[in-house]
Amino acid sequence: MNQTDKAPPYTSLATIARAQRLSINSVMPLLGIFLPVLLFCALAIDIKNGVGYAFDASFLLGLHAYASPLLNNLALKVSAAVTVISLLVLALLALKRQWHAVLFWLLAVGGSAILNVAVKHIVQRHRPALWTLAAPESTFCFPSGHTMQAMTLALALVFLLRASRQLRVIAAAAGAFVLLVSLCRMYLGLHYPSDIAASLLLSMAWVTSVTMLFDQQRLSLAAIDTFPPARQTHA
């Protein structure tokens, strides 16, 4: 066989990498956007139509059995940490002049907050009233704003740090934080489990959409930056 008949090794590896990238890009809209949106809409329609879930109240009552002043205080601090962490990351990105990342962060986190408020006013589900709350809130509860922001934070951080060698550790820590926030919001009696599930689904769909948009925008900007600046002619 002639040497010209053999493709160089790097060509085949590049082809495989390109095929894998295309495969991920084709699956991401399905698993990251359409499926979560479908499941979220099913939940939202049920809640809007007054369909209740038996596990909602029973799960909250089970958590309330462990209530104590110490845990109440801890749960409130964990809830407040969501906003603090979001602002700290934004400030850090701005200090490092990572303006593209700042734009991504504002769009992901800010858009998630706006989306959450909009859905709450559409569904209009009232807060649980199973016991006297340590920190009552008067706004609607579907979906959970704190949980949605925590999930948005986690996914956005994983995307920004996807090139890090410690990505698995970062993803695990982010997932643990989302779980902790979710449990704290239910422990405080401010959200049903179905509120939490809806928050996770909606934030996943939103951040995946922003991530795909951001990647395309970054690639187009990179392509523009490769062109040399035009020469100025002096009269």
Give the count of domains, the chain: 1
Q: Is residue 169 part of a domain?
A: yes
| Confidence at residue 225, expressed as pLDDT on a 0 to 100 scale | 38
Q: Is residue 110 part of a domain?
A: yes
Q: Phi-psi region for residue 197, left (φ > 0), alpha (ψ -120 to 50) or beta?
A: alpha
Q: Is residue 56 part of a domain?
A: no
| Confidence at residue 20, expressed as pLDDT on a 0 to 100 scale | 47
Q: Is residue 17 part of a domain?
A: no
Scanning the structure block, which residue is given the tokens 């199973």?
A: 130
For every one of its 235 residues, what pLDDT tens digit does the chain have, with 9 covering 90 and above?
A: 455 555 455 445 444 445 445 445 566 666 778 899 999 999 999 999 988 888 999 999 999 999 999 999 999 999 999 999 999 999 999 998 888 899 999 999 999 999 999 999 999 999 998 888 888 888 999 999 999 999 999 999 999 988 888 889 999 999 999 999 999 999 999 999 999 999 999 999 999 999 888 775 553 333 333 334 444 444 4
Q: Is residue 210 part of a domain?
A: yes
Provide the domain limits for residue 142.
68-215
Q: Is residue 173 part of a domain?
A: yes
Q: Is residue 186 part of a domain?
A: yes
Q: Is residue 202 part of a domain?
A: yes
| Confidence at residue 25, expressed as pLDDT on a 0 to 100 scale | 57
At 34, which amino acid appears?
Answer: F
Q: Could you give the 3-state DSSP secondary structure of residue 98?
A: coil
| Confidence at residue 164, expressed as pLDDT on a 0 to 100 scale | 84
DSSP symbol at 210? H
